[in-house]
Structure 1
Amino acid sequence: MKQAFNGLSLALGVALIAAHGAALAAYPDKPIRLIVPAAAGGTTDIASRLVGKRMGELLGQPVVVENRAGGGGIIGAQALRQSAADGYTLMMGNIGPNAINYSLYRQLPYRAEDFAPVTLVVSVPNVLVVNANVPARTVAELVALARAQPGKYSFASSGTGQSVHLSGELFRKRTGTDLIHVPYKGAAPAVADLVAGQVTMMVDNLPSSLPHIRSGKLRALAVTSASRVPELPDVPTMKEAGVNDFQVTAWFGLVAPAGTPPEVIDRLQKTVAGILVEPEIKSRLAELGGIPGGDTPAQFGTFIKSERERWARVVRDTGIPPQ
């Protein structure tokens, strides 16, 4: 009897392994949902749609972008945590929900361990922009305006906890200015109000502000990268503009629910890494001021951990109280 039971157990085990292997071989056999923890039109959304479309073509199944804006990325991250770990729900993670929020909020409905890194997709500098009617053509002139009338001027952000928010707080700290923070549910509505003159300035991700800089609706005063960017060669870095210790790079990368099969993670990573070296994609990202990623899951995981630690220091340095 025992021998028969052992034989049955072995047969069942072999069958389960075979079924698991067949399922992985067939992946994906239905559409993949790609959660964007921000509103349409921002850099997270732009990167998701650009890469997601090509992923769908290569994987043979559509990648459906789903915008879940709000809460500085918390709503989108929570939706991912609650999803099945089967490779059919991913998120375009970014510096907000995957790094800054851990230091900015006392309680989050998710933990870092709830997510499995896939790969870094793109990193971009931020750019300090003002409404075209603001009478400041340099960072020094903007600082002088703000110091002359404390509390009059405001800075927009794509949401509390995003790099755009922390960049604004860092600017306020480094320049000793009293600026009012106005958070939005994504970069697109924030930039729209900036163009309309409802807010004064924004330290935005370059891709979402670049079209308005080129059209003359916004004026770029400085970039947050270590060196000038090819897209705005006449715009100085923050250091060149007189603001020291101000280097910020925003990043965007794919994450999956923890427990997603390693084989699925591997296929997704290799697919995206291949996409990021395609000339058309590289050219499109370069037009946006972006630097393509494509690193391994392990490398991306190490990078995310280092970013959590780095932004924890920034949160402490700027004196933002945990929410």
Structure 2
Amino acid sequence: MTCAAAPFAGAQTYPSQPIKIVVPTAPGGVADIVGRSFAQKLNEAGKTAVVENKTGAGGAIAADFVAKSPPDGYTIYVGFHATNAILPHLQKLNYNPETDLLPVTIAAKTANVLVVNPSVPAKSMKELIAYAKANPGKLTFASQGNGSTGHIVGEQFKSAAGIDINHVPYRGAAPAAQDLIAGHVTMLFDVLTTAVPQIKSDKVRAIAIADAKRAKSLPEVPTVAEAGLPELESGPWFGFFVPAGTPKPVIDWLYAEAKKAFNSPDVQAQFEKQGLTAMLGTPEQTRAFVAGEYKRWGDVIKKANITLN
């Protein structure tokens, strides 16, 4: 009886020590924004939360670290599409995202937008494809890392358009965008959050939104469907996961705090400005959502014959 009651007893005093929120990408990207927003709200509520950026292997290092951490609610992973739904179809991982990590909720989702360096003489998808075909191997597409939606959609674009462009992976959205602006790479399926300020300041040029409808923040930019490539619709998502075995009362507490944090007016205003939408489904709804994404991206990878090589 004592052992069976121990997890719940611990949950009743939780949290009694600092909570570590592990972000799998570099500072400045959406995963980092999501992690820091939650940490800030927990701290404002009188708890102690710290953020640790643990980059590498497309986020798999951070995911594996959290999966192998004690299931006590003091190590939380900012999980996302790459580590929880895409990378398992591309490589052997040291963790199983379906069994080693339990979902709390998805905090935010957004859409990709194809942007190019202003030196690229193309202002539409048609012109970009024509330019790529006239200059095989000359164009490069950056991504937020191997297994990111930027990587997979870039490979889809390459296959669907029949063009020869080279993939250059980075450790997060921010460094990829920085090198795009500097002209070290020529294009990127960026996320709206990080791309909109660069587009508005003419540091990059938007070609198409990888969503079913145009973005409120970029009403003049056509969708990929309008540009003739509807299969490129994609959007990253970011949420919170804990190690398998974490007591349900702890997960429920984290979910309740996440709902409060991401429904707060200031975070909602920040999200709207950055092209983010809060999802905030229950742990059970999140499990179903992630399972659907796992299947969807697996089908895309198989159909396009995408590899990390």
Per the TM superposition, whether the score is higher than 0.5 is: yes
- Identify the range of structure 1 (66-75 vs 275-284) with the bigger mean alpha-carbon deviation: 275-284
Query: How much has 1:125 moved relative to structure 2?
Result: 0.3
1:27 maps to 2:11: no
Deviation string, structure 1 residues 37-87 (Cα, Å, up to 9, x no partner): 1111111112211222113323x2222111111111111111111210000
Query: How much has 1:167 moved relative to structure 2?
Result: 1.3
2:44 maps to which residue? 57
Secondary structure of the equivalent of 2:236? strand
Q: Is there any run of 5+ residues in structure 2 with no aligned partner, and where?
A: none
Q: Verify the 8 A CA contact 1:70 1:186 in the aligned structure 2.
A: no
Evaluate the alpha carbon distance shift between residue 172 and residue 114 of structure 1 in structure 2; reply closer, same or farther with a 3 A threshold.
same
Secondary structure of the equivalent of 1:291? coil
1:134 maps to 2:153: no
Hey, what's the Cα distance between the residues in 2 that align with 1:291 and 1:26?
32
Aligned residue among 208, 230, 239 for 2:216: 230
Evaluate the alpha carbon distance shift between residue 77 and residue 15 of structure 1 in structure 2; reply closer, same or farther with a 3 A threshold.
closer
1:109 maps to which residue? 94
Q: Verify the 8 A CA contact 2:24 2:53 in the aligned structure 1.
A: yes
Hey, what's the Cα distance between the residues in 2 that align with 1:174 and 1:275?
40
Hey, what's the Cα distance between the residues in 1 that align with 2:3 and 2:199?
60
Hey, what's the Cα distance between the residues in 2 that align with 1:84 and 1:109?
16
Deviation string, structure 1 residues 197-255 (Cα, Å, up to 9, x no partner): 00000001111222211211011111111000101111110011122322101100100
Alignment-mate amino acid for residue 26 of structure 1: T
1:163 maps to which residue? 149
Hey, what's the Cα distance between the residues in 1 that align with 2:103 and 2:70?
15
Deviation string, structure 1 residues 133-175 (Cα, Å, up to 9, x no partner): 2111111111111010111100000110011111111111221
1:261 maps to 2:247: yes
Query: How much has 1:316 moved relative to structure 2?
Result: 1.0
2:194 maps to which residue? 208
Alignment-mate amino acid for residue 294 of structure 1: L
Deviation string, structure 1 residues 9-35 (Cα, Å, up to 9, x no partner): xxxx36973x65443222111111011
2:299 maps to which residue? 313
1:64-79 mapped onto 2 (5 Å cutoff): 64-79=50-65
Q: Is there any run of 5+ residues in structure 1 with no aligned partner, and where?
A: 1-12
Choose 1 or 2 for highest CA Rg. Answer: 1
Hey, what's the Cα distance between the residues in 2 that align with 1:319 and 1:82?
31
- Identify the range of structure 1 (273-282 vs 158-167) with the bigger mean alpha-carbon deviation: 273-282
List, as ranges, runs of 4+ consecutive aligned residues in structure 1 with deviation greater than 6 Å.
none
Hey, what's the Cα distance between the residues in 2 that align with 1:259 and 1:250?
27
Q: Verify the 8 A CA contact 1:103 1:322 in the aligned structure 2.
A: no
1:300 maps to which residue? 286
Query: How much has 1:317 moved relative to structure 2?
Result: 1.8
Hey, what's the Cα distance between the residues in 2 that align with 1:160 and 1:185?
9
1:264-275 mapped onto 2 (5 Å cutoff): 264-275=250-261
Hey, what's the Cα distance between the residues in 1 that align with 2:17 and 2:135?
57
Alignment-mate amino acid for residue 175 of structure 1: A
Alignment-mate amino acid for residue 171 of structure 1: F
TM-score by length of 2: 0.96
Query: How much has 1:97 moved relative to structure 2?
Result: 0.4
1:84 maps to 2:84: no
Secondary structure of the equivalent of 1:30? coil
Secondary structure of the equivalent of 1:91? strand
2:32 maps to which residue? 45
Q: Verify the 8 A CA contact 2:8 2:247 in the aligned structure 1.
A: no
Hey, what's the Cα distance between the residues in 2 that align with 1:101 and 1:194?
24
Q: Verify the 8 A CA contact 2:26 2:53 in the aligned structure 1.
A: yes
Aligned residues: 308
Secondary structure of the equivalent of 2:154? helix
Evaluate the alpha carbon distance shift between residue 57 and residue 108 of structure 1 in structure 2; reply closer, same or farther with a 3 A threshold.
same
Q: Percent identity?
A: 41
TM-score by length of 1: 0.92
Hey, what's the Cα distance between the residues in 2 that align with 1:228 and 1:55?
34
Hey, what's the Cα distance between the residues in 2 that align with 1:44 and 1:51?
11
